[in-house]
């Protein structure tokens, strides 16, 4: 359930839920999570794309909605906590940390296996 051996996941469990690191691609053609990517500093992030441009917070809002759907929570329970203007962002997903993490693990495993 922890992904490949020795790797760290791009999220951490907190008392409030899960904090997830995302590598965003605005104007990516569609809204999708494309798996896990390693960043230049060695951290890992969910690789996500949204179809909207990065202007007036539209891409951040679309990312929040995409994460909410993936985690099985309401969009109002997703909060951008860092990286508002950068491509690497942190979101807080509020709710049952175990359930949210399990959904993210399943999503990441599906992408690693090449299924949707």
Mean predicted lDDT score pLDDT of the chain: 89
pLDDT score of 108: 79
Q: Extract the tokens encoding 73.
A: 């929570």
Whether the predicted pLDDT of 4 surpasses 50: no
Eight-state DSSP code of residue 60: H
2-39 burial, b at 16+ Cβ within 10 Å, e below that, comes to eeeeeeebbbeeeeebbbbbbbbbbebeeebbebbeee
**Strands 11-13 and 88-94, sheet pairing:** unpaired
Residue-wise pLDDT for 20-77, tens only, equals 999 999 999 999 999 999 999 999 999 999 999 999 999 999 999 999 999 999 999 9
Distance set, CA 37 to CA 50, 56, 73, 102 (Å): 16, 26, 23, 18
Type and span of the H or E element at 63: helix 58-71
Domain definitions of the chain by residue range: 11-111
Verdict on whether the full-model pTM lies above 0.95: no
Q: Which of 72, 74, 76, 78 is nearest to 101 (CA)?
A: 72
Query: Which CATH fold topology does 11-111 show?
Result: Conserved Hypothetical Protein Mth637; Chain: A; (3.30.1200)
């Amino acid at each position: 359930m922890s992904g490949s051996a020795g790797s760290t996941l791009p999220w951490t469990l907190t008392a409030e839920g899960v904090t997830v690191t995302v590598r965003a691609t605005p104007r990516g053609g569609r809204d999708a999570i494309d798996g896990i990517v390693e960043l230049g500093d060695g951290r890992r992030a969910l690789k996500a794309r949204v179809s909207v441009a990065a202007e007036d917070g539209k891409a951040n809002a679309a990312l929040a909605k995409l994460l909410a759907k993936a985690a099985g929570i309401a969009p109002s329970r997703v909060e951008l906590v860092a990286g508002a203007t950068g491509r690497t962002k942190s979101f807080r997903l509020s709710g049952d940390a175990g359930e949210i993490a399990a959904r993210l693990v399943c999503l990441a495993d599906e992408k690693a296996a090449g299924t949707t």
